[in-house]
Each structure stands twice: as C-alpha cells, then as structure tokens.
Structure 1
C-alpha cells in the first residue's frame, strides 16, 4: 500500500487525461446525487409502490405510449399520453393532496412529468423507478388492453 502511495503522484503526472476524467466522473456523481436529494418527489420501488397502493390508494398515471400501455400496465393505472399530460387539468386538480404516482414503460420519461406536478402544487408526487419494466421484473401483476 505504501508503495502505491509513493508512485501515485508520478502516475497522475504522467496521465493528466485520466486524472481529469476521474475528477469529472466524481463531480458528475456528486451533482447527480445532490439533484436527486433535492428534488420534490420520491422515487419508489415496486415493493414500496405496492405498499402505497394498499395504504393510501394513490392515483397511478401511466404516461407511456398508448401501444405500450395496451401491452402491459399496472392494474388500476390511468393512461395519459405525454402530449396530453396537463397538471392544471380540472380532474387532476381535485387530487392535489392525494398521492400521485407517475409511471412509464421503462422509467426514463417520468422526471419531467413529476416536476410539472410539483410546480402545479401537488404535494405527494412519486415516480416508479424503472417503470412498468421494473414492475414486471418484480413479478407483480400486469393488466393488458385499454383498462
């Protein structure tokens, strides 16, 4: 270990690109974690979503493409296409104080929708980490078709 510490300054001096890359990666990780910790919504696992469904009956909004929603969705979820997702909608305004969970096919497009809900005054906003695919991998029930 002592030998490694003696050779480290020489290695870093000989490889400034690797040092810069390492520093950039560490900074990117720190910024990503800080942003995750300061956002106003919580990311749920399939197990924690199941618990939330059983305890508080949240509104589960699936913003997947319609074809993906028809192939597989969480039972009881409501489909809203991303192009029609409007947190200021009168129907959604009625549930501002209830938990709302945003779900999509693979968990990639939910942050923007969750952010819009928070800006619209929703207090209990959640997303499902990994989306419906994570739900499927947890071997939880899926519905098919329109409902």
Structure 2
C-alpha cells in the first residue's frame, strides 16, 4: 500500500481515519505525561523490595473501613482528605522512600505530586493500587495495622 492508496482510504472512511488520529494522539499524550511525571510507578514486587531493602514507608490513602478490611502489612493509613506532606508521620520520613497506595492508583498519583512538591525525593505509587497487590497474591493485614 502506498501513500496515495492510504489517502484514498482515509478519504472514503473519514470517521475511521479521525478515530485513528484521535487514538494515536491520546496514546502519545499519555506516554509523554508518563515520562514527565515526578514520581515513579512501581509494581507489587518492587514495593516489597523497597520495604525490605530501603525501609520504605507505605502510606495507604483509602478510607479507614477499606484499610481495615485489608492493607499492605506495615502500611500507615492517611485519608486522602487529610493528606498533608507536612504531617509529622510523613515529614519524619522525608529521607526514606515513600510508597503511596490507593484503590486504583489515581489518588496516589495526586498525593505523589504533593510530596514531590514538598521536597520528598523518593516517591513511588503502587501501579493499579491495592488491587494489583491482591492480584499478585501478596499478603494483606487486617484491622487498624
């Protein structure tokens, strides 16, 4: 297929061509945003390595009820509505790696940006949230922690 045939196809199938261009632009924008973010997204195995090797602080941003049903052992619960990088529990861990966990990874990304802005150097977000931890068949602690 040469360029003229491609242009003829696009002319005959304008909606399909527009959808292709839109999807391509969305993928490129997402990848650029991923490369430019100030924190690193990690998988469950990387979280266990950070905790075991570097004594990382794991902060669970989910609601208390969800945290009590099951959380990463050793993690600390801080509600997203009360999340403050200057919090005593967080500020004292400025030199440690901090791993943020939420349900899906979205809220943790917002919290990660705030930590980086507050001067935290090593900030990580669990890719896929607590669901990815469960899918990796890793242990959960129950109760207040």
TM-score by length of 1: 0.92
1:90-109 equivalence runs, <5 A? 90-109=88-107
- Post-superposition CA distance 1:65-92 (Å, at most 9, x none): 1111111100000000111100022332
- The alignment of Structure 1 onto Structure 2 pairs a total of residues equal to 145
User: Structure 1: which 4+ aligned runs deviate by more than 3 Å?
Assistant: 4-7
Separation (CA, whole Å) in 1 of partners of 2:45 and 2:88: 31
Separation (CA, whole Å) in 2 of partners of 1:81 and 1:90: 14
1:138 equivalenced with 2:131 (yes/no): no
> What residue number does 1:63 align with?
61
> What residue number does 2:50 align with?
52
| Mean CA deviation greater in 114-123 or 99-108 | 99-108
> What residue number does 1:124 align with?
122
How many angstroms does 1:6 deviate by?
6.0
Separation (CA, whole Å) in 1 of partners of 2:53 and 2:46: 10
Which residue among 23, 28, 31 is the counterpart of 1:30? 28
Separation (CA, whole Å) in 2 of partners of 1:91 and 1:62: 13
Separation (CA, whole Å) in 1 of partners of 2:12 and 2:32: 32
| SS of residue in 2 equivalent to 1:109 | helix
| SS of residue in 1 equivalent to 2:110 | helix
TM-score by length of 2: 0.93
Unaligned runs of 5+ in 2: none
Separation (CA, whole Å) in 2 of partners of 1:89 and 1:53: 21
